[in-house]
Amino acid sequence: MYKDFISCIILYFFEKNLHYAKREHHMLKYNIKSTEFDNIMTLLYRVFDIRITLFDLQEHEIPSFHIKEMSGFCNERRKDCRFNEECIKCDTSNLIIAKAQKDVHIYRCHEGLLEGIVPLYNKNNTYLGAIVFGQLRECGKPVPVNISARLKKLYAALPEFTKKQLRDIGDLLKYLSEYIIENELIKYQNKPWAEKIDAYINNHLTEKISLETLGKIVNRSATFISHHFEEEFGMPPKQYILRKKMDAAMEMLKQGESVYNTANNLAFYDEFHFSKAFKAYWGNPPKQFKQE
């Protein structure tokens, strides 16, 4: 018993120190508009009255927002060191699944409670964290018999939801996450050199953009850009520039620009080359999107 107690203490301080070390390492990568985001979290709390939290890049809960406290049942169960380890493993493994799916992920935790995850990705396909919600009892699920009378009482007090209801909440949170990303309430901060390159690309889509040109903008080599670009933007330079040009092409066509002029304005070799690239990217030829 004494050894188990000491092990729990050591694990607690190790995880706490690791948590702060990781947060310190990634501190500059995050920019959160705290006031507006806290308003959103507060509204979610009032509307659903369930625990909805934000997990950071290192899969730790960000505690600074107005959220519902951990349920009495989970709080009591997590006092058991081994049970808490299983909770951490469960959270981590399901976050991996949600990140891979890039979609709402509803599941039952190792104790059988309903949980949900909405992964957050920015426009560059860079992972920004996740909205995590749950600690809910599934409707009709009986109270476990192999726990203490106190835990049974706490379990019975958990909010009851069906899996379908939780999925609906997840879908609503996904729509909300699109607003969060679109308005950059959570923003991944690129390194200064990457910010300069991004600005240059946005302002020079009408030109051919090479790695050498991007390197000169920030006094780095083309090799440096090639090796570090994806780390900051979530995709290789060629793919990123193409995506920017395809978005711009779509807007131009919808505004009535001809296919020929669109191809020429975005520095494609010719109309045929542009049309082929456009169809490969959007799935349909550019003429289909051109306003008559």
pLDDT of residue 174: 94
253 and 134 in a common domain? no
Both 126 and 258 in one domain: the answer is no
Rounded-to-integer distance, Cα 186 and Cα 34, Å? 9
Q: How many domains does the chain have?
A: 2
In a domain, 9, yes or no: no
* pLDDT-based confidence at residue 241 (cuts at 50, 70, 90): very high
Give the residue from 157, 188, 219 where a domain finishes.
188
What are the CB-based long-range contacts (under 8 Å, 24+) for 34-37? 34/64, 34/65, 36/185, 37/65, 37/180, 37/185, 37/186
Residue 219 binned pLDDT confidence (cut-offs 50, 70, 90): very high
Considering 20-34, 39-53, 189-203, the range whose residues carry the highest mean pLDDT is 39-53
- Predicted local confidence at residue 30, as pLDDT: 67
Q: Does pLDDT of 273 surpass 80?
A: yes
pLDDT for 191 equals 81
Residue 29: pLDDT above 80? Answer: no
Residue 28, pLDDT score: 44
Q: Are residues 229 and 108 in the same domain?
A: no
Per-residue pLDDT tens digits for 170-181: 999 999 999 988
More confident residue, 292 or 110: 110
- Radius of gyration of the chain from Cα atoms? 24
CATH of the domain at 200: 1.10.10.60
207 with 254, same domain: the answer is yes
Quick one: 178 and 80 in the same domain? yes
Q: Using pLDDT thresholds of 50, 70 and 90, give the confidence band for residue 1.
A: very low
Asked whether residue 37 falls in the same domain as residue 180, the answer is yes
CATH code, domain with 153: 3.30.450
Of 188, 208, 241, the position where a domain reaches its end is 188
Among 158, 188, 218, identify where a domain stops.
188
Instruction: Render pLDDT for 181-195 as a digit per residue (tens, 0 to 9).
Output: 888 888 777 788 988
Residue 2 lies in a domain: no
Residues 228 and 170 in one domain: no
What is the band of 73 on the pLDDT scale with cuts at 50, 70, 90? very high
Domain assignment present for 284: yes
Does residue 205 lie in a domain region? yes
| 32 pLDDT more than 70 | yes
Residue-wise pLDDT for 4-17, tens only, equals: 544 454 344 434 44
pLDDT tier, 24 (very low <50, low <70, confident <90, very high otherwise) = very low
Residue 73 tokens read as 């049942």
Question: What's the chain's average pLDDT?
Answer: 85
Q: Is 50 exceeded by the pLDDT of residue 20? A: no
The residue range of the domain holding 207 is: 192-288
For the whole prediction, is pTM greater than 0.75?
Answer: no
Percent of residues, the chain, with pLDDT higher than 90: 52
Q: Do 95 and 71 fall into the same domain? A: yes
With respect to residue 201, please indicate whether it lies within any of the assigned structural domains.
Answer: yes
> Does residue 69 share a domain with residue 40?
yes
- pLDDT at residue number 224: 93
Sign of CA dihedral 108, 144, 73, 89: negative
Q: Does 154 lie in the same domain as 88?
A: yes
Average pLDDT of the residues in 266-278? 91
Could you tell me the CA-to-CA distances from 116 to 54, 153, 232 in Å, in that order?
A: 12, 24, 28
Per DSSP, the residues of 68-130 read PPPPHHHHHHTTSHHHHHHHHHHHHHHHHHHHHHTS-EEEE-TTS-EEEEEEEE-TT--EEEE
Is 65 in the same domain as 89? yes
Report yes or no: 218 and 279 within 8 Å, Cβ to Cβ: no
Q: Is 116 in the same domain as 212? A: no
